[in-house]
Amino acid sequence: MAGRGRAPKWVVGLLVAGLVGCGGSSGTDAASADVRGVLDRRAAAVRDGSEKAFVATAAPGSVAAGERAEARAEFRNLRAVPLTDWSYRVTGFHRSGDRATVEADLRYRMDGYDRAPVVTARTLSLTRAEGRWYVTGDRPAGDASRQLWEQGPVVAVHGEHSLVLGVGQSRGTLRGYAGLADRAVPAVREAWGEEWPGRVVVLVPKSLDGMAELLGAPASGYRGIAAVTTGEAGGSGKAPADRIIVNPDAYGVLGSFGRQVVLTHETTHVATRASTSAATPLWLSEGYADWVGYRGTGRTAAEIAPELTRAVTDGRVPDELPADGDFGFGGDAAKLARAYESGWLACRMIAERWGEVRLGEFYRAVGAHEKRAGAVEAGLREVLDTSPWEFTALWQAYLRDRLM
């Protein structure tokens, strides 16, 4: 199951913790051990790249029609993904006669791109026939998101700085995404610096609905949004991997300029992830990503910020920088645009007035705080030698100067 014609480098294991079930303890222990055995065999099949062994862990047709066909399709869907780790940490075992349910954390890592395993919750169903346990289902647990390979056969394209994985997309289309991502990475390095791996993973599902499944969220909230990056804001800064997830419906209507800006914006989120925390307001994280995306394009402020230009021209200069709630995807599109444009112009002002290096230092200083309260104020004071009131007044004057 490794890409690019190489032998797979799988490290597959199984950890079992907190087992619970019904029946006597000896019966539960024996059943849990048997289930552990079938999952070990399933894992070994993935490690060895053996479709036959993987399919053999699914229930035979005499027990559950179609189970082995589904297992074969799952194995083949995953074949192109360049994985280096794949393991389960079982957190719950529930047995009722010849049926069992396992709750587990699936842990996997993409070779050359993930610093630590990605973790996603799964629910596996099993049945016992002729004294052996078989897997009859493997699905996301609760509100967990689906994985790309659950949507169909994955096609992989490797760029110089990128890995693009798609479902329902031609290889040529995915090469186009790889080219954009490969141009984005050096642009982000020039602005942000070298202290990040300089590689991105881009997921391209077939449609908006596929994007929503990968995010575990309703599709209505992302209609018109070209792409998002997982874990881009409000996290701990210690996430092992970010994924740029594309909405092909919205992305497809953009011109070449817009497509490049979007990929550079999202790549900036990947680069700044370790310096982005719960203390970072969205006006700063989104504004900085837009600043990098538009940096060096030669576009004017009025061209990039049309909604905010209309508001300022009409005398409606914002009283304050946008709150996190103003960045909600499901609300007023014009309000959302003004929020992004406001954050971008705040970061652009910092870069012009204090310098690009200070802008990066300010971003890092704010994210270094454990809590939101006082983080921006401290960053303004320590890095830019100003106060929130003075900064807001300068930003309002900047809007009038650049947009009127």
pLDDT(234) > 50: no
Q: Give me the mean pLDDT over the 328-336 stretch.
A: 82
Question: 204-232, pLDDT tens digit by residue?
Answer: 999 999 999 999 988 988 888 999 998 54
Note whether 86 and 30 are same-domain residues.
yes
CATH number of the domain at 163, please: 3.30.2010.30
Domain assignment present for 5: no
Note whether 393 and 281 are same-domain residues.
yes
Smallest Cα–Cα separation from 77: which of 163, 168, 208? 168
- Picking from 142, 177, 200, the residue at the C-terminal end of a domain is 142
- State the pairing for strand pair 200-204/244-246: parallel
Domain assignment present for 203: yes
Note whether 233 and 331 are same-domain residues.
no
Rounded CA separation 106/102 (Å): 12
Q: Which amino acid is at 334?
A: A
- Picking from 271, 300, 321, the residue at the C-terminal end of a domain is 271
Confidence of residue 49 (pLDDT cuts 50, 70, 90): confident
Residue 391, phi then psi, degrees to nearest 5 = -65, -45
* Number of other CB atoms surrounding residue 12 within 10 Å: 21
Number of domains into which the chain is organized: 3
Question: 162-177, pLDDT tens digit by residue?
Answer: 999 999 999 999 999 9
Domain assignment present for 1: no
In the numeric block, the tokens 């610093």 are attached to 115
CATH number of the domain at 24, please: 3.10.450.50
Rounded CA separation 313/324 (Å): 24
Task: Judge residue 220's burial from the number of C-beta atoms within 10 Å of its C-beta, 0-12 exposed, 13-18 middle, 19 or more buried.
Answer: exposed
In the sheet where 155-158 sits, what is the strand order? 155-158, 162-166, 200-204, 244-246, 227-229
Helix (H, G, I), strand (E, B) or coil at 133: strand
Domain assignment present for 163: yes
pTM: predicted TM-score of the whole model, two decimal places: 0.88
Beta bridge partners of 135: 58, 126
Domain assignment present for 267: yes
Question: Could you tell me which residues come within 8 angstroms of residue 396 by beta carbon, excluding any fewer than 6 positions away?
Answer: 317, 318
Note whether 287 and 400 are same-domain residues.
yes
Rounded CA separation 64/244 (Å): 37
Confidence of residue 62 (pLDDT cuts 50, 70, 90): low
- pLDDT, residue 3, reads 39
3-state secondary structure 38-63: HHHHHHHHHHHCCHHHHHHCECCCCC
- Picking from 271, 305, 330, the residue at the C-terminal end of a domain is 271
Cα 239 to chain centroid distance, Å, stands at 10
Residue 14, sorted as left (phi over 0), alpha (psi -120 to 50) or beta, turns out to be: beta
What is the secondary structure of 355-376 as a DSSP string?
Answer: -HHHHHHHHHHHHTSSSSTTHH
pLDDT(237) > 50: no
Q: Give me the mean pLDDT over the 180-196 stretch.
A: 96
CB 269 within 8 A of CB 284: no
Domain that holds residue 264: 145-271
Rg (CA), the chain: 24
Note whether 122 and 191 are same-domain residues.
no
Question: Could you tell me which residues come within 8 angstroms of residue 316 by beta carbon, excluding any fewer than 6 positions away?
Answer: none
Smallest Cα–Cα separation from 113: which of 30, 200, 29? 200
What is the chain's mean pLDDT, rounded?
Answer: 88
Note whether 281 and 404 are same-domain residues.
yes
